[in-house]
Chains A and B, each alone.
Chain A
């Protein structure tokens, strides 16, 4: 391991470490624009110059491997002068438009110009101007500001896996662009906004709305998919202005899906801000007591079997705890959190979480995807699989309809019986799994939300047993969820109790008149026309499918408006902090249910979030381990069944940008969906200017 001296501090680093990384280990900050630890090294901005003893001139520390005996100096006059020279060159063509630039206040170039910039320019000539570029509905461009660090090109090519950005021309004429102004097709494209060290790529929906110093910040968790990406909500007053990713190596690294980032404009549209009660077939605004009275009048006299509740994709753990307690108070066992009908077992935790952890993907050497399209279901997780694949030594195969996952996959056909074939060893890929050191399978909801889902599930479980996916210190049986609330729901036991009905059962019983009262907690992604003449209460944040069918609407807070607990697909318990207040009369899920319980005469025994969380811990003790992964014991019981090979898998997420009420209310997501639907290539005439020579 090389040992080198940095400003007199001796550090020993791993072989392959760059001088820049060694400097950071020694606690020396090196300015940089092009270097980024998660991207390949470009070495083209030259801002990271340091002095190396016995070297004739300053070296670019980001591209120089640390070697034994190196003596590096980072704060000599030579280094300062060299960096000032680089900065002066960068600023020759950089416009002086900081006052109107969205990056202002959080701009690397601005910050580093404070340290290395000259007071004035020695340059008399005109600055370069670049024609506007089009990159789709999310990324606003102002390419005159570009300093050609190529971070965006490297991100899109390496991490996102869609080589759609490039640099045309050369020298002073170099321009970063997509092919003829096509929109970026990646689901994580907007991360280039964070990566851009200047204001060349900025957020289109957030453009000119706020300055970073006006914003207050709340740490939260993304609920647009089940990955639970860590986010920071930037808000001003009562409005969420933007959502940014937070670093969490174990979950999302530092990326965030476009949906998680830009669906926030849906938080202020189509909101339910007061209770509604249906009178004479029409929903009419009401007060909370009126709404509760209407519900109480209906529930009066019903027995437990006539009452049912369904928790949806965006239901938080607190709300579901209260709902479960309310339902047991009413004597009903008809409760379910699997509104898509996925045949997931509750009971054993290892049976429904992503056991290896998202970080476990980095160790996997064989992956089998069963009925899942991770690119659409969890784009950031898909980027992690891609990263692992690029490192080499990974076999990856998939059963399901062919899609572009941004990396090559061995397609084993869309034949559900192939799952059985692998589990009894008849299929060749079984050998690959058996001989792998850390094999894993990823089971999608598309494989489970079908009539024979239980059979597919038990075959997948058999693969885990037969092919050595579960061993000491490794559990490669992974379920990829699509709903942010699902794992918490299963953890808390929101599944039919003794003799209870599941979602399909509730719907058919409602149609036959056996179930007379249905409580929908944030449940919109199911066929709401199938509740017959049952009395439907919808509690949720948006006027979506559930609210349209409802007889009583109870307005609830969205995920940015409450302190809530979310459990991601790995089973990682994460806390989200409240950023803004809910609109109008809307309240947090649990407090609505708590208030309703009193009106129904079944008062729940908690008056505060703290008391509720203590109750939550009784139901699921592992909720105490916040942010940590607790390995679950592998004792999953399955029911044998026959897989119906006559129809293939259908992925759980087909319309990626419209999977939940918030995304459906978002104008930005609608634009993204439109671009994804119509195909991205469009050629704006303005960039096609004929010039030669």
Chain B
């Protein structure tokens, strides 16, 4: 993880406003906190802003949220730079976060990154020229049991290898939304070789 700074000025929009739907959502979020403690809503609001604004938080949104919550600008910037899940610069429409922490790495995350590189032509931390894909390396996302894995958008794609990663990317290129979860055919984190116990009664589904 390297230091995260806001995007350069030429990429920053001059203004930011929440959509009407989000405005209503904000009211609900702020209402969750006691009066005078509305600053607690800063994280969900930043998340809303990011979702509304092509998956990244511009400075204008930071300033807008600060004003909305009565916080100094720097306090919101602190939060936005502290949490790596807030993107401070534009990212591709498909935001691929490949886990490369030890369990995933042992299980072949290098092949996943290589597959991204060969089918997209970009390495970690880069965005395709058409702005469709961004690939980054991330630390453990907590799905080690199905390693290696990547998070695309909000979904986890697990049990990846070169072939399945390439397939995923091809599907994304076609504009499809591939089915989330393990790509190996197994269900959740059941054994790859099939259930060995508790296998009577349909496995709980």
Residues of A within 8 A of B (CB): 163-171, 173, 175, 177-180, 683, 685, 687-693
Contacts and interface: CB of A to CB of B under 8 A. Distances in A.
A361 to B, nearest CB: 25
Contacts of B9: 683, 685, 688
Nearest to B124: A693
Contact of B75 (A166, A169, A688): A166
Given A164-B72, A166-B75, 13 more contacts: A166-B72, A168-B5, A168-B81, A168-B82, A169-B82, A173-B2, A178-B74, A179-B73, A179-B74, A179-B77, A685-B9, A687-B5, A693-B124
A175 B82 CA distance: 11
B102 to A, nearest CB: 18
A683 B7 CA distance: 12
Contacts of A692: 4, 87-89, 91, 125, 134, 136
Nearest to B91: A692
B154 interface: no
Contacts of B72: 163-164, 166, 179
B138 to A, nearest CB: 7
Given A180-B59, A692-B88, A170 B82 contact: yes
Contact of A693 (B1, B59, B74, B75): B1
Nearest to A688: B8
Contact of B7 (A163, A164, A169, A690): A690
B6 interface: yes
Contacts of A165: 74
B84 to A, nearest CB: 7
Interface of B: 1-9, 11, 59, 72-75, 77-78, 81-82, 84, 87-89, 91, 124-125, 134, 136-138
Given A179-B77, A180-B59, A689 B125 contact: no
Contact of B6 (A178, A688, A693): A688
A168 B77 contact: yes
23 contacts: A163-B72, A168-B4, A169-B3, A169-B82, A173-B3, A179-B73, A179-B77, A180-B6, A180-B59, A683-B9, A685-B9, A688-B6, A689-B5, A690-B8, A690-B89, A691-B3, A692-B4, A692-B89, A692-B91, A693-B1, A693-B2, A693-B136, A693-B138
Contact of B4 (A163, A173, A683): A173
Contacts of A178: 74
A171 B78 CA distance: 13
A655 B200 CA distance: 84
A692 B89 CA distance: 7
A386 B79 CA distance: 26
A461 to B, nearest CB: 38
Contacts of B75: 163, 166
Contacts of A687: 5
Contacts of A170: 81-82
A175 B81 CA distance: 10
B5 A690 contact: yes
Contacts of A163: 72, 74-75
A688 B7 CA distance: 6
